[in-house]
Amino acid sequence: MNLLLRVFRLQSLKARLRFLGIALVLMVGLSTISSYSFLQYRQTENNQINSMRKDGAIQQTAIDNWVATRASEIRNLANMQSTIELNIDEIENNLIFFASHQQEFEAVSFANKEGIVEFSTMNQIGAYFTERTYWEEAAKGREYISDVLMGKVTNQPTILFSAPVMNKNKQFLGVIYGTVSLKTIDQFMEQFQSGDSGESYLIDRNGYLITESRFAGNWKILEYKLNSDILERAKQGVQSASTYENYRGKQVFGTYQLVNNGKWIAVNEIERNEVYRTFNQQLIVMIIIIGIVLIFGIIVTLRISYLIEHPVQHLLKGVQRLRKGDYQYKIDYSGMKSAPVELLQLCEAFNQMSQNIQDNELELKRQKEELASSNAELEQFAYVASHDLQEPLRMVASYVQLLAKRYQGKLDQDADDFIHYAVDGSQRMQNLINDLLIFSRVGTKGKELKSVDFEVVLHHVMANLQHAIQESDARVTHDPLPTLMADSTQMVQLLQNLIGNAIKFRDANRAPIIHIGIKQQDRDWLFSVQDNGIGFDPRYRDRIFLIFQRLHNKTKYEGTGIGLSICKKIVERHGGKIWVESEAGHSTTFYFTLPDRGEHIT
């Protein structure tokens, strides 16, 4: 589906709805036509073959009955001999009576046991036929039905039926035989020639035509030999119905039946074009009807598409207006009553959302003004803290330090301790006020973001921490650092706090090893500061960034508890995030991310 959308460049909802709707209608139409065509095609073919098979069964029964009847008539004539001696007069009377009361036999004759014709309705009296097969069969006491022969007198295809004449003692006296033309068979076969191209004919097992072809051509009876698929199927006794090219070179449906005890093959054929003529006409009508339905379906689809896309277009317009800051825009859907109710509800929800955004915008504006006022007060507090609070504090610290210098050892031990506590307290208070000032100014007094080389930043940090590094015998390594858009002063402050903490919270039994790693992740740069210090319990990894929160005794590890809060505020000001992973007694790793604004590693 995605490939189709890309190939046809269907990007808009309007184009996709119309494409999918029309495609669905066409698929239904084509599948209907295909299913109808296939089923009707198969049904037409099956109906034709079944009809031809029924005709073949009727032909088989009729032809076999016709042959059996002719054989029975000759047999009955032969069985009329009532005396022991041959009574030629009786035979002659019987033959004359039979010949005058039937229409099938062209002639009937009687030949004695020597093979001499003693009576014949065809003037063959006196002829000698001892070499004839029918006489030889009769002499053996058997009836005989010949193959189709071309009559010498009529020059028409005929069949000879014969039966022996026996006296009451079952002695051979002669033979009665008769010849029959195939006109009755021809007329019978013509009854099954359906349509303009249907044909029903007989062939023998050698493939020669026995009955006349319906069509004019050089296909003479008993002279033209067929060589078609239906003949081979009949000889092999396989499927009786098939499609093949007949003796006229036409593609036909054909069936066969074996008749006359398998001597003949009755074939029924009809051209395929004629069989499917009605089907093709019905298919054209079906296509026209479905075409009309498809046109109507496409019109309905386009209408439904419009009812869906029209509200969506209004929604899109509303979203664009909102994006431009027009929060007073409302969708007028009073003219979309026919649209789906879900889309109307969506339009109403949009209007409500627009109103909520407008209300929130007013509230946000009010809060922004309050925040600006609060920031102004915070800046004023920073000014007061840096001047009005620090000046008295410096005076107190100076005088306490002066007392310590002048009277150290001249008073009792308690006085020395009190003076020491006062000096220490004033120094810690001054450090706390300085850190608070730094914390409050991270967001208000930060510099404009510029291109900053972090190799230079790290160089400044190492210089500032040079004394602590030498004193702790620390080793600081780093990956190649990038150049990014940042506040250089705050970056120095960030790395200095993290590296300084790594040195401060070192393990007394080993020298600090600190590594600064860097990795690019999508549109961010991931920094890591890893040490081998004392670590802490991972349960406190979120608490560690809160202001004034300390995990260690302040008498052992000096500090105000604001350093990591400053780091978090610096990172967040630059659009990143900071977190920590630690294992008590082993190591700590601080991670923070900074956005990549197009600079690269140098």
Convert the pLDDT of each residue in 159-170 to its tens digit: 999 999 988 788
**Mean predicted confidence (pLDDT) in 74-99:** 82
What's the confidence (pLDDT) of residue 55?
85
Residue written as tokens 């860097």?
Answer: 518
User: What is the band of 261 on the pLDDT scale with cuts at 50, 70, 90?
Assistant: confident
Distance, in Å, from the CA atom of 596 to the CA atom of 602, rounded to the nearest integer, reads 14
CA pseudo-torsion sign 409, 414, 415, 416: positive
pLDDT, tens only, 481-517: 988 888 888 888 888 888 888 888 887 788 888 899 9
Please tell me whether residues 521 and 430 are part of one structural domain: no
In one letter, which amino acid is 130? T
Please check the confidence at residue 446 and state whether its pLDDT lies above 60: no
Please check the confidence at residue 543 and state whether its pLDDT lies above 80: no
**Mean predicted confidence (pLDDT) in 78-86:** 71
Whether residue 514 is contained in a domain is answered as: yes
Whether residue 5 is contained in a domain is answered as: no
Please check the confidence at residue 396 and state whether its pLDDT lies above 70: yes
H/E segment holding residue 563: helix 563-573
Please tell me whether residues 526 and 430 are part of one structural domain: no
User: What is the band of 130 on the pLDDT scale with cuts at 50, 70, 90?
Assistant: very low
The last residue of a domain, from among 256, 287, 313: 313
What's the confidence (pLDDT) of residue 156?
79
Please check the confidence at residue 548 and state whether its pLDDT lies above 90: no
Please tell me whether residues 425 and 517 are part of one structural domain: no
Least confident of 107-111, 113-117, 356-360, 378-382: 378-382
In one letter, which amino acid is 490? Q
Distance, in Å, from the CA atom of 336 to the CA atom of 303, rounded to the nearest integer, reads 13
Residue 448 vs residue 427, higher pLDDT: 448
pLDDT, tens only, 326-340: 767 777 766 666 666
Q: How far is CA 111 from CA 100, 172, 176, 181, 537, in A?
A: 20, 11, 7, 21, 134
Please tell me whether residues 438 and 501 are part of one structural domain: no
For the stretch 430-434, contacts whose Cβ atoms lie closer than 8 Å and that sit 24 or more positions apart, written own/partner, are 430/390, 430/393, 430/394, 430/397, 431/560, 432/560, 432/562, 433/385, 433/386, 433/389, 433/390, 433/393
pLDDT, tens only, 332-385: 766 666 666 666 677 777 777 777 877 887 888 888 887 777 766 665 665 566
CATH number of the domain within which 108 lies: 3.30.450.20
What's the confidence (pLDDT) of residue 341?
66
Whether residue 119 is contained in a domain is answered as: yes
Whether residue 345 is contained in a domain is answered as: no
Please check the confidence at residue 255 and state whether its pLDDT lies above 60: yes
Residue 479 is given by DSSP the state P
Please tell me whether residues 561 and 533 are part of one structural domain: yes
Least confident of 136-145, 316-325, 421-430, 476-485: 421-430
Residue 571 vs residue 437, higher pLDDT: 571
Percent of the chain with pLDDT strictly greater than 70: 77
CATH number of the domain within which 581 lies: 3.30.565.10
The strand ranges marked E within 333-474 are 450-453
pLDDT, tens only, 132-189: 788 888 888 899 998 888 876 677 788 999 999 988 788 888 899 998 888 888 888 8
Please tell me whether residues 431 and 472 are part of one structural domain: no
Please tell me whether residues 439 and 499 are part of one structural domain: no
In one letter, which amino acid is 202? L
Q: What are the residues whose beta carbons fall under 8 Å from the beta carbon of 581, sequence distance 6 or more?
A: 538, 541, 588, 589, 591
For residue 589 the two structure tokens come to 């790793």
For residue 8 the two structure tokens come to 């046809």
CATH number of the domain within which 378 lies: 1.10.287
Please check the confidence at residue 386 and state whether its pLDDT lies above 50: yes
Q: What are the residues whose beta carbons fall under 8 Å from the beta carbon of 407, sequence distance 6 or more?
A: 415, 419
What's the confidence (pLDDT) of residue 517?
92
Please check the confidence at residue 75 and state whether its pLDDT lies above 80: yes
Which residue range forms the structural domain that includes residue 389? 358-443
What's the confidence (pLDDT) of residue 428?
62
pLDDT, tens only, 11-31: 565 566 666 777 777 788 788
Whether residue 351 is contained in a domain is answered as: no
Whether residue 278 is contained in a domain is answered as: yes
What's the confidence (pLDDT) of residue 126?
47
Whether residue 218 is contained in a domain is answered as: yes
Please tell me whether residues 373 and 495 are part of one structural domain: no
What's the confidence (pLDDT) of residue 331?
72
3-state secondary structure of 196: coil
Please tell me whether residues 502 and 566 are part of one structural domain: yes
**Mean predicted confidence (pLDDT) in 85-106:** 85
Least confident of 267-276, 345-354, 363-372, 529-538: 345-354
H/E segment holding residue 394: helix 390-407
The last residue of a domain, from among 387, 409, 443: 443
Residue 308 vs residue 442, higher pLDDT: 308
Residue 141 is given by DSSP the state T
CA pseudo-torsion sign 29, 35, 36, 38: positive
What's the confidence (pLDDT) of residue 175?
92
Closest CA to 33 of 282, 274, 295, 301: 282
Distance, in Å, from the CA atom of 482 to the CA atom of 477, rounded to the nearest integer, reads 15
- H-assigned helices in 218-276: 229-236, 272-275
* Contact status, residue 481 vs residue 518, Cβ threshold 8 Å: yes
The last residue of a domain, from among 260, 290, 313: 313
Side-by-side strand order, sheet with 199-204: 199-204, 264-271, 251-259, 241-245
Distance, in Å, from the CA atom of 298 to the CA atom of 304, rounded to the nearest integer, reads 10
User: What is the band of 600 on the pLDDT scale with cuts at 50, 70, 90?
Assistant: very low
User: What is the band of 442 on the pLDDT scale with cuts at 50, 70, 90?
Assistant: low
Q: What are the residues whose beta carbons fall under 8 Å from the beta carbon of 157, sequence distance 6 or more?
A: 148, 149, 150, 151, 181, 182, 210, 221, 222
pLDDT, tens only, 229-251: 777 777 777 767 778 888 888 88
Please tell me whether residues 163 and 231 are part of one structural domain: yes
In one letter, which amino acid is 186? D
3-state secondary structure of 553: coil
Please tell me whether residues 150 and 24 are part of one structural domain: yes
Cross-strand partners of 128: 116
Please check the confidence at residue 44 and state whether its pLDDT lies above 60: yes
- Helix 488-504 to helix 563-573 angle (10° resolution) is 150
In one letter, which amino acid is 515? H
Whether residue 320 is contained in a domain is answered as: no
H/E segment holding residue 310: helix 277-323
Across the chain, what does the average pLDDT equal? 78
Please tell me whether residues 225 and 365 are part of one structural domain: no
Closest CA to 246 of 261, 224, 263: 224
3-state secondary structure of 516: strand
Overall number of domains in the chain: 3
- H-assigned helices in 442-562: 454-464, 466-472, 488-504
